Chains A and B, each alone.
Chain A
C-alpha cells in the first residue's frame, strides 16, 4: 500500500466516526421524559391553585375587607377569617419564640461543642427521625402532654407549644447543616489568633451560617403556619376567640387559618365552598410572604460580601 491511500482511508474512517449517525435517541427520549415530569408537576400545581383562586373570586369580589376583617359565623354572608389570622399569627409567634432559640441552641451545641461520640451520633440520627414523624403524632403528644398533663387545656398556648415541638427537629437539622457548611478554615483562623470557642462561634461561625439558618428556620415557621392536623388534636377547632384581649386569646378557646379551612370545607351550605377557597388563598399568600421574606433576608446577608 502506498502512503496516500493509507492517508485517504484513515481520513475516511475518521470522518465516518466523527459524523453523527442520527444522534443519541435514548438520550432524546430521556430528555423528553424529564421535561414531561416537570410539566406534570407544574401542571398539577397550576390547576390546583387556579381552581382555588377561581372559586374564591366571588368572595374577594364582593367583600374583600369584610371577609378578612370579620369574625367567624355560621351565616356564610357574614363569615370572616380575622380570628384565624390572629390565631395563626399568635401561634407562629409562639413557635418563633420557642423553637428558634431552642433549636438553634441545640444545633450549635451539637455541631460546635459536643464531641463526636456514639451518643452524639445517636442523638443526631434520632433528631432526623423526629423530623420525619407525622404531624398528627405531634398532635397526640401535645394533647397528652400540654393539654392534659400540664393542664393547659385546649388553649392557644398548648397549640403553640405543640407546633414548636413539631418544628424543633427541622430547626435543629437546618441549623446543623448551615453550621456544617462553614469552612473549617474559618474556625481554624479564629482559634489561631487566640479566640475562645464562643468568640469563634459568635464572631465568625454564626454570621457565616446566618443566611442558611435564617432560611431554614423561617421555612419551618411557614410549615407551622400551614399545619392543620396537630391543631385539630389540641383543640383549635373547638372554638373562636371569646374576645381579642391578649389574655383571653391565650387562655380561652382559639382557632387558626388551617383549622378554619378544615371546618368550612365540611359545612353543608354551598356558599362555604367559596369561603373555603378564599381562606386557602389567604393561607397560601401568607406562606408565600413568609417564604419570600426568608429569601430576602438570605439575599441581604449574602450581599454583605
Chain B
C-alpha cells in the first residue's frame, strides 16, 4: 500500500503490493523515505522525518515542548507534516495530542499559562516568532473541534462569519454556497440557510463547522477528534469528506479511533506518555507501515489494543 508517486493519487490504488514500493521512484515521497529509514535500523523517528521535511512540508516541528505553567504536556517533538496529506495523530488519552494540535495554530495562546519551547515552522516561518499575529495564523490554519460547536446563529451566518471578519468583499452568497458544497452539506441545508445551525443533527453540525473552517480559504485544517461525538454513519461521511478536502488542504487530525486513523489518513504519528506524563513522539510514518509493521513495541501494543 505504500506505493510511491504523487501523494494525491496515493489512495487510488491502495492494493499495490508492498514490493512495488522498493524501487521505482527517483523522487521518493515522504512516506517512502520514512518507511525505508525506519526499516533499515533502530533510529529515532525524527531523523527519517527530518530527511523528508525539506520538500513539501507545511509544518516542521523542531524539539517542540508545550507547557501549561510548570507542567510539560508535550516533550521534544520533531516531525514534519506534508502538504495535501492527511496526517493522523494517535495515542492514549492525556498524551498531549490535542495540545500538540492546538500549538499548530496558536490556539493554546488562549490559555494564560501555556507556552512552548522549540519551534514550529509553517512553510518555513516560525509561528511563534515575535510579530507573528495569531489571528493571521488562525485564518490560514483552520480548526474543527471535538464537539460540533456551531455559533448560535443561522447556518448562513455560521459560514459567513469568518470571511466577514477577514474583510471578504466578494459575493458572500456564492462563498457560503461553495463552502457548504465542499463540506457536503449544501443539499441538506440549501432551503433553510436562515435557520439556526444548532438545530442541525450532530453530523450536519460538524460538517457545518467544516464549511465554516473552509470558508476563510485556509491552507491547513486541524481536526481535533472531529467524529468522537458522531455516530458511525456521520463519521464515515466526515472521513469521505476529508479525502475530498485533502486535494486542496492539508489536514491534521487527532483521533482516538484507530480504525479511523487507519482508514482515513496517509501518515500517522503515534504519541505516548512518558513517566513524567509528558507526551512524546514514538514514531511517525506512512499509515500502512505504522499499522502493519510498527517499528516500536509501544506502537504495536497500542494499535493492537494491548494498552491505551
A: residues with CB less than 8 A from B are 115-116, 183, 185-196, 199, 203-204, 208, 305
Contact = CB atoms under 8 A, between A and B. Distances in A.
Interface string B215-230: 1100000000000000
Contacts of A187: 110
A193 B147 CA distance: 16
A207 B135 CA distance: 21
28 contacts: A115-B112, A116-B112, A183-B149, A185-B145, A186-B149, A187-B110, A188-B110, A188-B145, A188-B149, A189-B145, A189-B150, A189-B209, A189-B212, A191-B110, A191-B135, A192-B107, A192-B145, A193-B165, A194-B162, A194-B166, A195-B162, A195-B165, A196-B135, A199-B165, A203-B161, A203-B165, A204-B151, A305-B198
Contacts of B209: 189
Interface stretch (B30-38, B41-49, B136-144, B256-264): B136-144
B78 interface: no
A194 B136 contact: yes
B92 interface: no
Contact of B196 (A183, A194, A203, A305): A305
By size class, the interface of chain B is 20 to 34
A193 B149 contact: no
B216 A193 contact: yes
A185 B216 contact: no
A189 B149 contact: yes
Q: Is the interface of A mostly helix, strand, loop or mixed?
A: helix
Interface in B73-121: 105, 107, 110, 112
Nearest to A204: B151
A75 B112 CA distance: 66
A204 B165 CA distance: 12
A194 B152 contact: no
Nearest to A196: B135
A208 B152 contact: yes
B107 A193 contact: no
Contacts of A116: 112
B157 to A, nearest CB: 9
B110 A195 contact: no
Interface of B: 105, 107, 110, 112, 135-136, 138-139, 142-145, 147, 149-152, 161-162, 165-166, 196, 198, 209, 212-213, 215-216
A199 B161 CA distance: 10
A193 B145 contact: no
A212 B74 CA distance: 39
Given A193-B142, A194-B135, 14 more contacts: A116-B112, A186-B149, A188-B143, A188-B149, A189-B149, A189-B151, A190-B161, A191-B135, A191-B138, A192-B142, A192-B213, A195-B135, A196-B135, A208-B152
Nearest to A115: B112
Q: Which of A183, A188, A194, A199 has the most CB of B within 10 A?
A: A194
Contacts of B152: 186, 208, 305
Contacts of A204: 151
A194 B212 CA distance: 11
Contacts of A199: 165
Contacts of B105: 192
Given A185-B145, A305-B152, A305-B198, A193 B212 contact: yes
A302 B282 CA distance: 49
A21 B253 CA distance: 59
B154 to A, nearest CB: 9
B110 A193 contact: no
B57 to A, nearest CB: 23
A271 to B, nearest CB: 56
B104 to A, nearest CB: 12
A7 to B, nearest CB: 43
Q: Which of A186, A187, A195, A199 has the most CB of B within 10 A?
A: A195
B147 A185 contact: yes
Q: Which of B150, B165, B166, B212 has the most CB of A within 10 A?
A: B165
B147 A192 contact: no
Given A185-B149, A187-B110, A188-B145, A193 B215 contact: yes
Contacts of B213: 192-193
Q: Which of B145, B147, B161, B196 has the most CB of A within 10 A?
A: B161
Contacts of A190: 151, 161
A190 B158 CA distance: 10
Nearest to A117: B112
Nearest to B139: A194
Contacts of B165: 193-196, 199, 203
A194 B218 CA distance: 10
A193 B112 contact: no
Contacts of A194: 135-136, 138-139, 142, 162, 165-166, 216
Contacts of A208: 152
Contacts of A185: 145, 147, 149
A191 B162 CA distance: 9
A115 B114 CA distance: 12
Contacts of A192: 105, 107, 138, 142-145, 213
A48 B213 CA distance: 59
Query: Considering the complex of A and B, which 4 residue pairs feature the smallest CB-CB distances, nearest first?
Result: A193-B162, A194-B139, A185-B149, A192-B143
